[in-house]
Structure 1
Amino acid sequence: MKKYLIVFLLLTLNFSFGQSRTFNLEWNGSRVMATESSSIEVPSFNKESLSYSYENGLKYVAFWNTDAAIDESSISITNLQTSSIRSSELKDLKPNSIPSGVSFKIRNSQARERRGVYVEFAPIFRENGILKRVDQLSITYQNRQSSQSRSTVAISNSVLNQGTWRKFYVDTTGVFKLTKSFLNDIGVNTNVDPRTIKIYGQGGRMLPLLNSEPYPFDLTENAIKFVGEEDGVFDNNDYILMYAEGPRGFNEESNTHNNIFTDKAYYYVHVGSGFGKRIQSYVEPTGPSTLTINSFHELQYYEVDEYNLARLGRRWFGDRFDFDSDKVFEFEFPRIITSEPVDVEIHAAAVGEVNTSMSVRINNADVDVFYFDPIDDPILADDDFFSGEINLSSSQVSVALSFDNSGNPSSIGYLDYISIEAESELEYIGNQFLFLNKDLALESGVGTYEISNAADVDEVWDVTDRFNTTSINNVDSNNLLSFKTQLGEVRRFQVVDFNDTYEPKRDGNNNVLNQNLKGTLLQDEQGEFQPLDYLIVTREDMLNQAERLAQINRDQYGLTVKVVLIDQIYNEFSSGNQDVGAIRNLVRYLYDNVPNPDEKIKYLCMFGDASYDYKDRISNNTNIVPSWHSYNSFSLSGSFVADDFFGMMDPDEGTMVPSDQLDLAVGRILADTPQRAKELVDKIESYYAPEAYGNWRNNFITISDDVDEPWETILQSTTDDIGNLVSSSKPFVNVIKIHSDAYTQESSAGGQRYPDVNKAIFDAMEVGALVVNYFGHGGEDGLARERIWDKNNVQELNNSCKLPCFVTVTCEYTKFDNPNRPTAGEFLYWNRDGGAISLITTTRQIFVSVGVAVNVILENYLFALGSNEYPSMAEALRLTKNDPAISGIEQRRLIFYIGDPAMKPAFAKPEVRLTRINGVPVTEETPVLNALGYATIEGEVVDENGNLLSDYNGVLTGTVYDKQIDRSTLANDGTTSQNGQLIVLDFVTQGEAIFRGQATINNGQFSLDFIVPRDITIPVGNGKVSLYAKSDSPLEDHSGSDSTVRIGGLNENAAEDNQGPLISLFMNDESFVSGGITNQQPTLLAKLSDENGINTASGIGHDILAILDGDETNPFKLNDYYVAEVDDYSQGELSYQLRDLEPGLHTLTLRAWDVYNNSSLAEIQFVVFDDNEVLVVENVLNYPNPFVNYTEFWFNHNSSDLLDVSIQIFTVSGKLVKTINGQTSGGGKNGNSVSRDLVWDGRDDFGDRIGKGVYVYKLKVHSPQLNKTVEKFQKLVIL
């Protein structure tokens, strides 16, 4: 357990000299701590130091960086100033959460090479029954003379590196007998000298969470007793006796008797390479015995793990108290000393809508009553416990538990465990047993154990050091077996009867392949030392995809990456048992064994899904690469799942207290199947593909929730501030602000909704953005109470190759550890056709105040404000969590990175800059761009130092924006502030795009021409030019912007233009013919041309609008989807995906305007097939028709599979004259493939030309994949 210095300030204050620190608390009324489902009002002080949780109450926290570690024992309180506080000022704080004194905690903290100090204390306390608050507190302290040594081991080879290995398992603790036949069954060669047989393993203990707690970093050989090995031959009657530890035994860190990860404890058998370790004789301590010990502390417990009450955390419960509300649990201690009290501990919990209770009776005597509060989100269960002494008069212990549901049948009680420890006589009663006496730790000198009735005892083993067991022989079968032991410590002994042993067990596959993670992960192919940048941990069935990811990172970033299998980690680091500590210990081994701080491992990828169930007790479980779960298992705001655990390397870290700091950037690929793994790596690969390069990389979308309650104004203002901060610090970034409350709220049967916000998010996402940030309410099903973006929406996205990092500091958006409740975040990440490339997201309910702090700090790192060196997205989150402003706040653990931890956001390099506007250098006063005026913008691509890249050739995409627009939210919910005023946010958005076109870049220079639309706002002001350059050889991109361009006024000499643009419409691709078939999500393609260009400036009534089936109330605004051709502003195209269309005939009209505000209208019809309809064939024809000696047979179909096609040609009287067979392939997912693969020369089956005239043909199309056939008839004419 972690050790804190706790100073109770009710004691006399100490004074000393050294460094000092003063904490001033600026009390300022109260603040609301709110999550998605609850809110609580607490006294308020400095917001950066306020920490609150339902479990721990109100705390003052602080963190500061230091050059050296402090001596925690040197802390002295030199000043404490307090003032009284009224009980009414506590607001919603529970009185029982107020401590009777200020408890002061201080800890050293470290993140890689940066040191810091963490402080925590209770700002409100009781003194002699009077409530007080801390106004100022000062401390002094000394630096520590030397740093704490690290506990990992030097680089070495694993014992599994060579030789033949087999494994078996045990499920309990004690003496096991391994026979020759058992060893043969698991594949051990017994035709060897038995003295060379060795057994390795650590047993079934859980690995310590705390890094500084010692634990073997490789399989450890166990001392065994081999009966009959002396002759060097393994005879049939020879056997092995060994002490083995099973997966049960009390673990203080998790407060459980059961290993939470496994029900099996593995051991390994190895043959050869010298004689094995054998049990040696026990060496008694010298000196006279001063104490006779003839009793021991006997522990019995009952604990079953079947139910995780809230599907959170690592606590599991057993017996349910529902219909059967009374249960009795029997224990027997046949050797009990009734004159000594018995220690009893009972833990239970309940889930109920009302107050409930559970009575505890032991041997018919009332002992205690547990009281459980009703559940109240975010607390989903409540627990209680009894720990105390009772007196017994017999060896029987009957524990009766009776649950009272207070008349509410939906309330259910659960038992965690019953633990009873009695003092018993040290007597052998026919069964092997383990004994220890805790009281001896308080004694000194030498004592003598005496075991009575020991005639059948063969030996007693000292198993205190489980790897080096020693033996005391009962040579003469004495009835009283005695031996001396050292006092002052608690030693463990095992009574051994050769006729009473346990049998080991085996799995189906007991073979263990050679492996050597420790010896090879820090080596290159030549066996030389090589630091590792990046480690990927996965399961064997996902190995190929993990290797693909490794290669991507080698190619993209030049990283040294290695992939390891999770079972290999368990073999070397946790004796084959699943344990999250094994993964962490491997990473620590790699981290500590690289001396250069800059070369230490930086990235860790957990390649596979995870679950709250480590043991596959639930259906559809996805515990592929496990994550760490908190002991708190009831609270949606206090419990958390965290991969941070695997990235904390320092000795004092591991238990996930607030002071623990991240040393590695950790990410998780949420793959639940090998196919999903492939799809996710495909997406990652596409992120770097040439087609992913585009000006969407200049975009940043911010989305805010509306204001339902007065305190929620911070959701809007924080989001807006983030957008403003990024746009001012990184001018090349185009910030698209979607404030929900700036759109009209509508009522529906399901509640209030924002359909235009939903559409705005769709449009912005499909146009593309590098980062999307939502701040507001949310949950597993989507964003905001008004459901502005739900789990169905994210699955409909088709933004392939325009994949953002999606930031959602909201509640439970990606609570991925419940396999039976997929979340919106997971669906967004899993979307094969788009969605998100990564998520910085929450897995539990987070307080809004924490979200505000995290959001602001995160954007500083994610956008590398003040720098052009962008960290990976996971590294940005690591830096955020370690930032002093929030590094003491425990809820930062709720924020998770989903994705490749080494992936950097695809920001283009700097820089592209303007050089001339209409021929005038930008260093001078440039001409104003007037409406209907001809504009020429010239520029160049330069490096960071402003030097022209004269060998740069490619294409520039330029977007010219009108002046910024002042807007206000609409106060849809009528929420008012304390002074009664409507809460309205005034904000500024980027101006409308008046032109979006492309130009050729030659030798680093470009020129972009266009006609300024009539629809600009006439007053002259500064607009913005956003520039994006892409080069194909080498593949790279650059970006830039200019906000000095002036726009406004009207060109009075503009030429006349009264003609609208030309419009050509298609569905899915340009081979489409109006009336053809499509899928239910077809893509509209529109080609537009006009001598003066197309208007995208969004003048009133002058948008590019598509109307589907005459529904003019729900038009599609397509301005942002249009882009002009390269070097030609007069023509361009747009593409836009329609969604969820009903099967049947649809008509779409599109109206577009030129820059002179002349419009044109075009129409297209298409037939949507039902996705559930397996095969559709339409538009059957032959061309040319009529023909002489050549024709092609054409038809449309909706299949993406290979199809068998047959055409039979008949005379009008029905005589078959020709049969043509062939195949045609599908065209993809769009549901509109055109086949023209079958041709005919007009001859019959015998090769003779047939007569002129009219013929009938039957087209037969068969899908072998779907086993469906479609037939169509048509006519043809031969001339």
Structure 2
Amino acid sequence: MKKAPLISATAVLTLFFSILHAAESKAPIKINWTEPQKLILADGLSHSFICFTGAQYNLQESQLPFYYETRKLNGPVSSLSAELLNPVFVSLAENEKEAFDEAQKSMNLPPLLEVQVRTGIVKKQNLALIKFYPFRINPASGQPEKLLSFTLKLNADYNLAQRTASSTAAYAANSVLASGNWYKVGLTADGIYKMDYAYLLSLGMNLSGKSPQDLRVYGNGGGQLPYSNAAPRIDDLAENAIYVFDGGTLNVFDSADYVLFYGQSQNRWSYTGSTGGCPAFRHSVHLFSDTTYYFITTDLGPGKRVSTQSSSMLPVTNNVNTFDDYAFHESDASNMIKSGREWYGEKFDILNTYTFNFSFPGIDPSSPVYVKTEVIGRADVTSSFTVTSGSGSTTLSTTATQTSIYYYPYAYTSNGCFSYLPSSSNISVTVTRTSPLNNPNFIGYLNYVEVNARRQLLMSTPQLIFRDAGSVGAGNVSKFFVANANSNLSVWEVTDPVNVAQQAGTLNGNVFEFALPTDSLREFLAFDGSTFLTPRALGAVPNQNLHAIGQMDMIIVCPPVFWNEATQLANLHANEDGLSVGLVTPQQIYNEFSSGARDVSAIRDFMKMLYERA
């Protein structure tokens, strides 16, 4: 079904979807062109728009209308394309040509007759989403023409394996939080955390009659949930491998006992490879929470413990005595339009220069330091920024925008990279706005500064996290040499944060050595036991079990402050409409679907579980 003509000032960021509930057809399609319409936009000027029945507009792309259609597919596809057959074109009417010329002058023409097709799913129905601009420039006359009729052919390769597989993800029948006594802790940095007897009591735990072997730690590590439904994620809460020291009376909690576990911050790094002088490791900031949460219980029997993995006896292909390290600065203080999930930090206004300092003890002076910076600028002219560090520098330029026209991009970002050989372990990065300096319409912010460096693999702090991308390769076996070590040193492999392993190795003098296959990137944490981190105690967590919720006609997600009002609403729909209504709090959803951290995708994942079970 196609929509009636619609031109609206709200079309700036909106694509209007019209779903055709019919089987794929090769019947000719005729476009019903109508008279151009005029609209006064925010710039105060009257603009003319070419129209046809069902026309859609995206004013950030063009003032020209595009054709949009959605067709059902017979299942999931591995590839999908569309083509126009038997197209019939006619010349534009004079008033249409004027509108076309105006659109061409306002911004570059979008690709004409280029069929864009992507897939979607609505109510478990696979769909083809088709879009194109129905115009062409006549190759003979050079004049614009409009498409009058055509046949649309879909070329789909169906994914039979995915089609025959179950579409329902494997969800736990019950949450681990459904029974027993649970306690929550929070942390903000990567490292080894210690919880001793006194700390566990401060959480509110009753340890009388409990054995240290029964203590368990659950949590899904740090990092924001993926936006994509198809991306993997942990369901409910994963049990983490922990180290338990039972130093007093065996199997009785007392003051000599403690627990060690590896905790992750919410800010994560991923390896992308170095290109164009850019850092190989890129950071990502959790947009909704700066704290990672873990859940503690002693009511489920003996728990998962840190296992020991042997050093490899395979022939060594790489010796590793330096490693990749990284740091970033990103302050999420300002949102330019009070909308969206991107926030920015330092403002270029009265202050036009900012300097950020990073420390990389034992830096390798023979390996480059890589710096990446991103800024955003809003002005009627191009804005320029310079970034300098050591002997390296780059210039960032943000595109000019039309600050008086609301549907133009509000601001533009610019990022750039450079590298240089360091002469000091202290790395300073300076960002300066160079132009425009006296433009009252200018607005500019720093987004982030990101630095990668190589360091000597030696214990310069009580805890050292290290990895080496240079040793990764098919069939590689790497031997790691951790210098400045002593007999108290332990190395944990933390590549999989919920399945941490104690790495066996050999202490030769003050160097701890071990070897492992490195066909993929592995990460380790070395610590000497002199200093541990302490999580923030948050207390008891009530039992809950959203994973066992039955099928509902309606779900109301409501914070506790509105619980009474939401209950009244739920009762109204139950009594008047006969609906089954579920009432849950955001925190209940976060506990089971994002390891306790605020994350909007957790609400989506909760609803997706109910959807897939229906």
TM-score higher than 0.5? yes
CA 1:87–1:193 in 2, change beyond 3 Å: closer, same or farther? farther
Alignment-derived partner of residue 261 in structure 2: 242
1:21-420 counterparts in 2 under 5 A?
Answer: 44=50, 46=52, 48=54, 50-54=56-60, 60=66, 62-66=68-72, 68-69=74-75, 71-73=77-79, 75=81, 89=100, 91-92=102-103, 105-121=116-132, 138-145=153-160, 146-147=162-163, 149-150=166-167, 152-154=169-171, 156-191=173-208, 192-228=210-246, 231-250=250-269, 257-283=284-310, 287-352=314-379, 356-363=383-390, 365-374=392-401, 375-376=403-404, 377-379=406-408, 381-395=410-424, 396-403=426-433, 404-409=435-440, 411-420=442-451
Q: Does the CA contact (< 8 Å) of 1:358 and 1:369 recur in 2?
A: yes
Describe the SS at the equivalent of 1:476: strand
User: CA contact under 8 A between 1:217 and 1:585: conserved in structure 2?
Assistant: no
Residue by residue over 1:911-958, the C-alpha shift from the partner in whole angstroms, topping out at 9 and shown as x without a partner, is xxxxxxxxxxxxxxxxxxxxxxxxxxxxxxxxxxxxxxxxxxxxxxxx
Cα distance, 1:178 vs. partner? 1.7
Local SS of the residue matching 1:584: helix
2:112 touches 2:132 (CA, 8 Å); kept in 1?
Answer: no
Hey, what does 1:1116 align to over in structure 2? none
User: Residue type of the partner of 2:306?
Assistant: I
Q: Deviations over 1:747-803 (max 9, x none)?
A: xxxxxxxxxxxxxxxxxxxxxxxxxxxxxxxxxxxxxxxxxxxxxxxxxxxxxxxxx
Q: Given the superposition, is the C-alpha separation of residues 176 and 107 from structure 1 closer, same or farther in structure 2, using an over 3 Å criterion?
A: same
Q: 1:379 to 1:428 in 2, by over 3 A?
A: farther
Please tell me the residue identity of whatever aligns with 2:74: A
Relative to 1, partners in 2 of residues 1:420 and 1:535: Cα closer, same or farther, differing over 3 Å?
Answer: same
User: Structure 1 residues 511 and 35, CA, compared in 2 at 3 Å: closer, same or farther?
Assistant: farther
Specify the alignment match of 2:480 in structure 1: 450
**Structure 1 residues 156 and 21: CA distance shift in structure 2, 3 A:** farther
Q: What is aligned with 1:567?
A: 587
Q: Displacement, 1:340?
A: 4.1
Answering whether residue 598 of structure 2 is matched by residue 578 of structure 1, we say yes
Where does residue 465 of structure 2 map in the other structure?
434
Displacement of 1:103: 6.5
Q: 1:548 to 1:22 in 2, by over 3 A?
A: same
What's the CA shift for 1:43? 7.5
Letter in 1 for 2:173: S
Identity %: 25
The higher relative CO (CA closer than 8 Å, separation ≥ 6) is in: 2
- Which SS does the other structure have where 1:506 is aligned? strand
Q: Distance in 1 between matches of 2:88 and 2:509?
A: 70
1:1176-1223 CA-to-partner distances (Å, cap 9, x unmatched) read xxxxxxxxxxxxxxxxxxxxxxxxxxxxxxxxxxxxxxxxxxxxxxxx
Which amino acid letter does the alignment assign opposite residue 351 of structure 2?
A: D
What is the alpha-carbon distance in structure 2 between the residues aligned to residue 256 and residue 21 of structure 1? Answer: 50
| Cross-structure match for 1:556 | 576
What SS does the aligned partner of 1:585 have? helix
Inter-partner Cα distance in structure 2 for 1:325 and 1:533: 55
**Equivalent position of 1:516 in the other structure:** 545
Does residue 552 of structure 2 align to residue 541 of structure 1? no
Secondary structure of the 1:107 match is strand
Q: Counterparts of 1:268 and 1:469 in 2: how far apart (Å)?
A: 17
Contact persistence 1:309–1:351 (CA under 8 A): no
Deviation readout 1:809-860 (Å, 9 max, x if unpaired): xxxxxxxxxxxxxxxxxxxxxxxxxxxxxxxxxxxxxxxxxxxxxxxxxxxx
What corresponds to 2:9 in structure 1?
Answer: none
Determine the C-alpha separation between the residues in 1 that align with 2:77 and 2:138: 29
Instruction: Identify the residue that residue 462 of structure 1 maps to in structure 2.
Output: 493
CA 1:413–1:66: 2 relative to 1, 3 Å: closer
Alpha-carbon separation, structure 2, partners of 1:99 and 1:239:
64
Q: CA deviation at 1:310?
A: 1.2
Contact 1:100 1:126 in 2 (8 A): no
Q: For the residues of structure 1 that align with 2:143 and 2:520, how far apart are their CA atoms? A: 44
Partner secondary structure for residue 212 of structure 1 = coil
Q: Secondary structure at the match of 2:227?
A: coil
Distance in 2 between the 1:326 and 1:297 partners?
Answer: 29
User: Cα offset for 1:306?
Assistant: 1.0
In structure 2, the CA distance between the partners of 1:266 and 1:412, relative to structure 1 (3 Å rule), is same
Q: Which amino acid aligns with 2:449?
A: I
Q: Which runs of 5+ in 1 are unaligned?
A: 1-17, 523-530, 595-1279
Q: Which secondary structure does the structure 2 equivalent of 1:260 belong to?
A: coil
Secondary structure of the structure 1 residue equivalent to 2:507: coil
- Counterparts of 1:285 and 1:566, CA distance in 2: 46
Instruction: Specify which of 563, 582, 587 is matched with residue 607 of structure 2.
Output: 587
**In 1, Cα distance between the equivalents of 2:515 and 2:101?**
60
CA distance change for structure 1 residues 243 and 104 in 2, over 3 Å: closer, same or farther?
farther
| 8 A Cα contact 2:182 2:296, kept in partner | yes
* Cα deviations by residue, 1:599-640 (Å, 9 ceiling, x for unpaired): xxxxxxxxxxxxxxxxxxxxxxxxxxxxxxxxxxxxxxxxxx
CA RMSD of aligned residues (A): 3.9
Deviations 1:1024-1049 (A, max 9, x none): xxxxxxxxxxxxxxxxxxxxxxxxxx
The 8 Å contact of residues 457 and 483 in structure 2, kept in 1 or not, is answered as no
Structure 1 residues 848-902: Cα deviation after superposition (integer angstroms, max 9, x where no partner) = xxxxxxxxxxxxxxxxxxxxxxxxxxxxxxxxxxxxxxxxxxxxxxxxxxxxxxx
Quick check: 1:285–1:446 contact (8 Å CA) kept in 2? no
Per the alignment, in what secondary structure is the counterpart of residue 537 of structure 2? coil
- Pair 1:501-2:498 in alignment: no
**Deviation, structure 1 residue 22:** 8.0
Matched AA of 2:560: E
SS in structure 1 at match of 2:573? helix
* Separation (CA, whole Å) in 1 of partners of 2:116 and 2:220: 35
What amino acid is aligned across from residue 190 of structure 2 in structure 1?
A: T
CA contact (8 A) 1:539 1:566 kept: yes
Distance 1:342 1:90 in 2: 50
Give the AA of the match of 1:108: T
Distance 1:74 1:182, change over 3 A: same
What SS does structure 2 have at the residue aligned with 1:91?
helix
SS in 1 for 2:289: coil
User: What one-letter code is carried by the residue in structure 2 that aligns with 1:246?
Assistant: S
Q: 1:245-270: CA deviations, max 9, x gaps?
A: 11222599xx9732111122111110
In the TM superposition, what is the alpha-carbon distance from 1:223 to its structure 2 partner?
0.7
The amino acid across from 2:332 in the alignment is D
Distance in 1, matches of 2:492 and 2:59, equals: 48
SS class of match (1:590): helix
Taking structure 1 as reference, are residues 548 and 392 closer, same or farther at Cα in structure 2, changes over 3 Å only?
same
**Could you tell me which residue of structure 2 aligns to residue 1092 of structure 1?**
none
Task: Give the superposition deviation at 1:476.
Answer: 3.2
Distance in 1, Cα, partners of 2:307 & 2:562: 46
Q: Tell whether the 8 Å contact from 2:50 to 2:100 is kept in structure 1 after alignment.
A: no
| Alpha-carbon shift at residue 312 of structure 1 (Å) | 1.0
Which structure is larger by alpha-carbon Rg, 1 or 2? 1
Contact kept, 8 Å, 1:195 with 1:229, in 2: the verdict is no
Paired positions, count: 562
Specify the code of the residue in structure 1 equivalent to 2:607: V
Query: Deviation of residue 429 (structure 1)?
Result: 2.3
Which segments of 5 or more consecutive residues in structure 2 lack a partner in the other structure?
1-23, 272-281
2:536 counterpart SS class: coil
